[in-house]
Amino acid sequence: MSGLTLLPAVDVQSGQAVQLVQGRSGSAQVFGDPVAAAQRWRDEGAEWLHLVDLDAAFGHGSNAQVTARIVAEVDLKVELSGGIRDQASLERALESGCQRVNLGTAALEYPAWCAQAIAQWPEQVAISLDVKHGRLAGRGWTSLGGPLEETVARLDQAGCRRYVVTDVASDGTLSGPNLELLAQVCRQTEAKVTASGGIASLDDLIHLSELSESGLDAAIVGTALYVGAFTLAQAQAVLGPGS
């Protein structure tokens, strides 16, 4: 079985590690100190961390001091998301020492700048494809953008090398990943794909690994780890090397 790279999620809102349900404001389950959460995943054997500034994503605040501390102090490769929508915020994110940044809203609202960012940092810029009711969502999933297929075609032409694909309806629900959506994106692009949203069990991870030959090579896991549905060690044992 091909291994998936697992990225435990640390989503930060008002200085706390949280998990939202379907991205809805007011739905947060609070899990305490985000630095301690990142350290926990490191201690359990993670190599990567998916780190999100939710306040920046929603456009009503910033947890930049917290995210910068995690990047600086926790010995993990970090994929950073949330509110990165222009050259200045992108450069600040990259200068923090993270290995990769995810652009979401920018891919919908500023396509020319997004293409420029991909060209300038092809290995460090990934695109978040957050899908809600069959369309892409931005601004913390509160606004809807264009059709998925058209956007992927445009970003492929710009040279995108990685997509982070989230089914908003599944996120935080422990209802299982949207395998059909992930397979659809894998069929359309030769870029690498990271799965996000709904992962609830070891069986879900096994099903995701079956898409590895199509280009899916990573999975973001949030609520399932926080509530103890399985441990990172159990996931890594099931998936094998590379997880």
Which residue stretches of the chain are H helix? 34-43, 54-58, 64-73, 87-95, 105-109, 111-120, 148-158, 179-188, 202-209, 223-226, 232-239
Contact assessment for residue 114 and residue 127, using Cβ atoms and an 8 Å cutoff? yes
* Active-site residue, selected from the candidate residues 130, 167, 204, 217: 130
Question: Distance (Å, rounded) from C-alpha 194 to C-alpha 234?
Answer: 20
Which member of 11, 167, 171, 217 is catalytic? 11
Whole-number Å distance between alpha carbons of 28 and 34: 14
- The answer to whether the CB of 173 falls within 8 A of the CB of 209 is no
Residue type, 7: L
User: For the CA atoms of the chain, what is the radius of gyration?
Assistant: 16
Output the CA–CA distances (angstroms, integers) from residue 144 to 105, 154, 193, in the order listed.
10, 17, 21
Active site residue 33: no
Active site residue 11: yes
Q: Which residues are catalytic?
A: 11, 130
